[in-house]
């Protein structure tokens, strides 16, 4: 007998819509299957067989995050196929800072009303993020919660597990004054600072599709919704070839909060402001909102999605490897002695 409850439907939960959503998302999930995946969609747990051949002491690394109020842009533009990339990116870029390779991902979607086509669009973005990072999408949950969320809104979060060989974990113990700080460019605002972005531009009422000259004629909504860049494959290639001493994912809190997370006490990252390739959207945010430079660098990535520290003699080789893998990386500063943690000069 097919599962259906008239009473549950009368309360606002249509379980048949959930079944349809699962059918629509199966093709997207299939794109992410890797050699470790066991079983298919629909079980009570996602199964993954861990291959640790060649590892001396495998360590599992986990991370979880969501998309935040950037989702308000997706609601207003009725575009839901990229926020899943953001969700994956925020998780996999974090575990990458430990030197970990992402293995598998799970998502969680909570909504006011289960629209199967919209849910499938969201999952298509999650799947794309998994493909970009080499992770398998092995499970997830869609929770229909009428009365808790508006019918046309949802929240999206995720969870990743990666693995790294313990001798290769990044612990910043070998970092020293004179090391080079490399910048990996961002694709835009990524998925942080959107409470401030929404306030600055009055996003709920603004014309998000009108061309903006400062953005090269692109619309504000299109620019802000650009998905977070995933750095996994280029950085893993770098880790295989160069002695990397530290990595920071530049998320909420900007330079001042995130760069120190990969730097030991007694050392400071001295950043050359003139070398930072600030994207036009950040100039527009600062000018429109009257936001001081210090606050901008303490809230946004400013065009730098990830920083990497290497020895000065390894910098050119590191840049070459990153560029071979599609990252137009550059040197934005150096490590110096001091207790200020980050200096902009």
Tell me what percent of the residues of the chain surpass a pLDDT of 70.
Answer: 99
Instruction: List strand residue ranges (DSSP E) for 214-265, in order.
Output: 244-249
- pLDDT recorded at residue 288: 97
- pLDDT recorded at residue 12: 77
pLDDT band of residue 10 (cuts 50, 70, 90) is confident
Please write the tens of the pLDDT for every residue from 59-84.
Answer: 999 999 999 999 999 999 999 999 99
* pLDDT value at 1 more than 70: no
pTM: predicted TM-score of the whole model, two decimal places:
0.96
* Cα-based distances in Å from 173 to 56, 218, 264: 20, 44, 7
- pLDDT recorded at residue 76: 97
Residue 194: count other Cβ atoms within 10 Å of its Cβ: 20
Which of 22 and 182 is assigned the larger pLDDT? 182
pLDDT band of residue 13 (cuts 50, 70, 90) is confident
- pLDDT recorded at residue 3: 72
Of 74, 180, 188, the closest CA to residue 125 belongs to: 74
pLDDT band of residue 15 (cuts 50, 70, 90) is confident
* pLDDT value at 214 more than 90: yes
Lowest-pLDDT choice from 22-31, 99-108, 235-244, 308-317: 22-31
- DSSP 3-state helix, strand, coil percentages of the chain (rounded to 5)? 40, 25, 35
The Cα 139–Cα 46 span in angstroms is: 5
- pLDDT recorded at residue 216: 95
Cβ atoms 185, 328 nearer than 8 A:
yes
* Cα-based distances in Å from 84 to 74, 92, 103, 130, 239: 11, 12, 17, 9, 26
What's the whole-number mean pLDDT along residues 214-234? 97
* pLDDT value at 164 more than 70: yes
What's the whole-number mean pLDDT along residues 142-164? 97
Q: Is the CA virtual torsion 99, 102, 106, 107 positive or negative?
A: positive
Tell me what percent of the residues of the chain surpass a pLDDT of 90.
Answer: 91
Of 262, 265, 237, 268, the closest CA to residue 250 belongs to: 262
Q: What is the mean pLDDT of the chain?
A: 95
Please write the tens of the pLDDT for every residue from 195-206.
Answer: 999 999 999 999
């Amino acid at each position: 007998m097919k599962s259906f409850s008239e009473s549950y439907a009368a309360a606002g939960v249509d379980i048949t819509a959930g079944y349809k959503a699962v059918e629509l998302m199966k093709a997207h999930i299939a794109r992410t299957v890797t050699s470790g995946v066991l079983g298919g969609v629909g079980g009570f747990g996602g199964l993954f067989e861990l291959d640790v051949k060649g590892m001396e002491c495998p360590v599992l690394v986990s991370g979880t995050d969501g998309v935040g109020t950037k989702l308000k842009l997706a609601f207003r533009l009725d575009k839901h196929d990229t926020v899943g990339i953001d969700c994956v990116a925020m998780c996999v870029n974090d575990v990458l800072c430990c030197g970990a390779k992402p293995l598998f991902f799970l998502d969680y979607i909570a909504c006011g009303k289960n629209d199967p086509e919209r849910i499938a669009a969201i999952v298509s973005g999650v799947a794309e993020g998994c493909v970009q990072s080499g992770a398998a999408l092995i499970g997830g949950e869609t929770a229909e919660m009428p009365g808790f969320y508006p019918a046309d809104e949802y929240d999206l979060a995720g969870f990743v597990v990666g693995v790294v060989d313990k001798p290769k974990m990044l612990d910043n113990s070998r970092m020293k004054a004179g090391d080079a700080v490399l910048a990996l460019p961002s694709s835009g605002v990524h998925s942080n600072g959107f409470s401030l972005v929404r306030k600055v531009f009055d996003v709920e009422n603004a014309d998000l599709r009108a061309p903006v000259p400062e953005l090269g004629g692109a619309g504000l909504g299109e620019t802000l919704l650009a998905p977070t860049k995933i750095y996994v494959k280029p950085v893993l290639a770098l880790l295989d070839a160069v002695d990397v001493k530290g990595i920071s994912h530049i998320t909420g809190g900007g330079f001042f909060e995130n760069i120190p997370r990969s730097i030991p006490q007694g050392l400071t990252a001295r950043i050359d402001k003139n070398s930072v390739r600030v994207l036009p959207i950040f100039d527009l945010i600062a000018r429109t909102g009257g936001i001081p430079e210090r606050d901008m660098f303490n809230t946004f990535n400013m065009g730098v999605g990830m920083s990497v520290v290497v020895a000065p003699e390894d910098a050119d080789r590191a840049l070459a490897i990153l560029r071979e893998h599609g990252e137009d990386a550059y040197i934005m500063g150096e490590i110096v002695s001091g207790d200020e943690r980050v200096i902009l000069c």
